[in-house]
Amino acid sequence: MSIFRRSRAPEGPKDPEGLTDLDLGLDGDELTLLRLEGEDLIGRLAHAHMSWGLGTADRWGLNQRTGIITWTFPDKTATAPAQILGSYNSSAGSWLWAWANASILPAMSRDAENVREWGEARGHRAFSEPKLHIDETTAAAIAAVTISVTRATGFYRATGNVSMPIITFGPVTLTAQDGTTSTVQIDLDEQ
């Protein structure tokens, strides 16, 4: 199950405390609606960002000091302000929130911290526990709810050596080889 595809209700493994994925609080009406909205939003964002080549870059990089993600293509570069939500390690079956990851600068995890506060206020453990032992379907559901809560206008499931960083981004600046620039900005109300 890809994080970009609509998921079924979570039915994953137990975490170390013996709680099922459903015990993490992902089955409530509010979360179900947010998950469905987030899955739809991820699909619409992926389609909209395909116009400039999201998912086809030769390479990508994220500078935590500047907060800018860069995708490099043969004929252009694309840059955007970014936030890291968390990361999913498929071999370990674990999700680590950006706010709990010591290797992520605090400024890069502001959105994840806002989701943590949102989850704590509503009693949703999946959004307030630092590390979750879950399957990819549940990770996809968490990402979808998070996209819905943050109202992100860009979503990128990056590649990594061990884990997949889940990154949101804002307006994309395209710079052609001749130095001309254009901006791609997504209006969620029009999507």
Write out the chain's pLDDT in tens, 191 residues: 344 343 443 344 444 443 345 455 566 677 788 888 888 888 888 888 999 999 999 999 999 999 999 999 999 999 999 999 999 999 999 999 999 999 999 999 999 999 999 999 988 889 999 999 999 888 988 999 999 899 899 999 988 788 999 999 999 999 999 999 999 988 877 65
What is the rounded CA–CA span in Å between residue 89 and residue 114?
Answer: 22
What pLDDT score was predicted for residue 6? 38
Q: What is the pLDDT of residue 23?
A: 52
* Of the candidates 130, 137, 126, 147, the residue with the CA atom closest to the CA atom of residue 45: 147
Query: What is the C-alpha separation between 53 and 79, in angstroms, rounded?
Result: 12
d(CA 156, CA 46): 9
Q: In whole angstroms, how large is the CA radius of gyration of the chain?
A: 16
The residues near 96 (Cβ < 8 Å, ≥ 6 apart) are 86, 87, 89, 130, 131, 163
Q: Is the pTM of this model over 0.75?
A: yes
Number of helices and strands (H, E) in the chain? 3, 9
